[in-house]
Amino acid sequence: MFFPCRLARGVIVAAACLLASAAGADEAPPVWAYPIAPPDTVPPKDDGTVRHVPGSSRGYTLTEIRDLFVARDWFPDAHPPMPAVVAEGRHPDTRPCGVCHRPEGVGGPENASLAGLPADYMLRQIDDFRSGARSTGVKARTHVFRMIAALRSLSEQEIAEAVTYYAALKLPPRIHVVETDTVPANTVPSWYYTPKKDGTSEPLSGRIIEMPDDEENFVNRDYHVTFTAYVPRGSVALGERIANEGLGARIPACVACHGEGLKGIGDIPPLAGRSPSYLVRQLYEFKHGLRNGPLAAPMRANTEEMSEPEMVALAAYAASLKP
* Residue 261 forms part of a structural domain: yes
pLDDT at 309 over 50: yes
Contact 29, 217 (CB under 8 A): no
* Residue 19 forms part of a structural domain: no
pLDDT for the residue 246:
98
pLDDT at 262 over 90: yes
| Alpha carbons 120 and 63: distance in angstroms, whole number | 36
* Residue 267 forms part of a structural domain: yes
- 209 and 258, same domain (yes or no): yes
b/e per residue 221-251 (b: at least 16 CB within 10 A): bbbbbebbbbbbeebbebbbbbbeebeeeeb
Contact 70, 88 (CB under 8 A): yes
DSSP class of 173: P
pLDDT at 182 over 80: yes
Angle between helices 142-153 and 119-131 (to 10 degrees): 100
What is the pLDDT of the chain when averaged over all its residues?
Answer: 92
pLDDT for the residue 19:
41
Confidence of residue 15 (pLDDT cuts 50, 70, 90): very low
Confidence of residue 322 (pLDDT cuts 50, 70, 90): very high
Q: What is the span of the domain harbouring residue 87?
A: 62-167
pLDDT at 1 over 70: no
| Alpha carbons 212 and 183: distance in angstroms, whole number | 14
Instruction: For 34-48, write each residue's pLDDT tens digit.
Output: 999 988 999 999 999
Confidence of residue 294 (pLDDT cuts 50, 70, 90): confident
Mean pLDDT of 191-196: 96
Q: Which of 151, 167, 183 is the last residue of a domain?
A: 167
Confidence of residue 166 (pLDDT cuts 50, 70, 90): very high
pLDDT for the residue 18:
39
- 314 and 200, same domain (yes or no): yes
CATH of the domain at 131: 1.10.760.10
Q: Which of 133, 152, 167 is the last residue of a domain?
A: 167
**0.85 surpassed by pTM:** yes
Instruction: For 214-249, write each residue's pLDDT tens digit.
Output: 999 999 999 999 999 999 999 999 999 999 999 999
pLDDT for the residue 24:
41
* Residue 57 forms part of a structural domain: no
pLDDT for the residue 210:
98
Mean pLDDT of 73-83: 98
16 or 279: whose pLDDT is higher?
279
Instruction: For 111-131, write each residue's pLDDT tens digit.
Output: 999 999 999 999 999 999 999
pLDDT for the residue 184:
98
